[in-house]
Structure 1
Amino acid sequence: MKLVLATRNKGKIAEIKKLVSDLSQVELVSLDDFQNLPDIAETGKTFKENALIKAKEIASFTGHWALADDSGLVVDYLQGAPGVYSARFSGEQATDEQNNAKLLALLKDVPWEKRQAKFVCVIAICNPKGQCYTLEGECKGYIALEPKGTYGFGYDPVFFVPAYGKTMAELEPEIKNQISHRAMALKQLKPLLRQMLKRSEGQTYNIH
Structure 2
Amino acid sequence: MSDPRLVLATHNDHKVGELRAILLAAGTVPGLLPDEVVGAARFTDVQPVEDGVTFEANALIKARALAAESGLPSVADDSGLAVDVLGGAPGIFSARWAGRHGDDRANLDLLLAQLGDIAPEHRRARFVCAAALVTPEGVEHVVRGELVGTLLTVPRGDGGFGYDPILQPEGYDRSCAELSPEEKNAISHRGQAFRALAPTIADVLRG
TM-score class normalised by the smaller sequence: 0.7 to 0.9
Is 1:172 the counterpart of 2:180? The answer is yes
Corresponding residue for residue 24 of structure 2:
18
Shift in Å, 1:166: 1.8
TM-score, normalised via structure 2 length: 0.83
1: distance between equivalents of 2:86 and 2:19?
Answer: 33
For 1:5, the aligned partner's letter is L
Structure 1 stretch displaced more, 167-176 or 69-78: 167-176
Shift in Å, 1:189: 2.8
For 1:75, the aligned partner's letter is V
User: Cα 1:11–1:177, aligned 2, differ >3 Å: closer, same or farther?
Assistant: same
Corresponding residue for residue 129 of structure 2:
121
Is 1:74 the counterpart of 2:85? The answer is no
Conserved in 2, the CA contact under 8 Å of 1:69 and 1:123? yes
Corresponding residue for residue 54 of structure 2:
46
Alignment of 1:27-176 (within 5 A): 28-34=37-43, 38-93=46-101, 95-176=103-184
Residue number among 6, 10, 18 corresponding to 2:9 in the alignment: 6
Conserved in 2, the CA contact under 8 Å of 1:72 and 1:119? yes
User: Cα 1:93–1:136, aligned 2, differ >3 Å: closer, same or farther?
Assistant: closer
User: Cα 1:133–1:41, aligned 2, differ >3 Å: closer, same or farther?
Assistant: same
Conserved in 2, the CA contact under 8 Å of 1:7 and 1:13? no
Corresponding residue for residue 206 of structure 1:
none
Deviations 1:140-178 (A, max 9, x none): 001112222222221111112231122212223321121
If each structure's helix is expressed as a fraction of its own residues, which one has the higher value? 2
| Aligned residue-pair number | 198
Conserved in 2, the CA contact under 8 Å of 1:13 and 1:30? no
2: distance between equivalents of 1:28 and 1:94?
Answer: 23
Shift in Å, 1:33: 3.4
Structure 1 stretch displaced more, 176-185 or 8-17: 8-17
- The runs of at least 4 consecutive aligned structure 1 residues that moved more than 6 Å come to none
2: distance between equivalents of 1:59 and 1:134?
Answer: 15
For 1:188, the aligned partner's letter is A
Deviations 1:34-91 (A, max 9, x none): 2x56441111111111110011111122233211111110111111111111111111
Corresponding residue for residue 204 of structure 1:
none
1: distance between equivalents of 2:114 and 2:71?
Answer: 45
TM-score, normalised via structure 1 length: 0.82
1: distance between equivalents of 2:172 and 2:72?
Answer: 41
5+ residue gaps, structure 2? none
Shift in Å, 1:2: 3.5
Conserved in 1, the CA contact under 8 Å of 2:23 and 2:29? no
Corresponding residue for residue 189 of structure 2:
181
5+ residue gaps, structure 1? 201-208
Q: RMSD of aligned C-alpha atoms?
A: 2.6
2: distance between equivalents of 1:153 and 1:25?
Answer: 26
User: Cα 1:131–1:104, aligned 2, differ >3 Å: closer, same or farther?
Assistant: same
2: distance between equivalents of 1:49 and 1:93?
Answer: 19
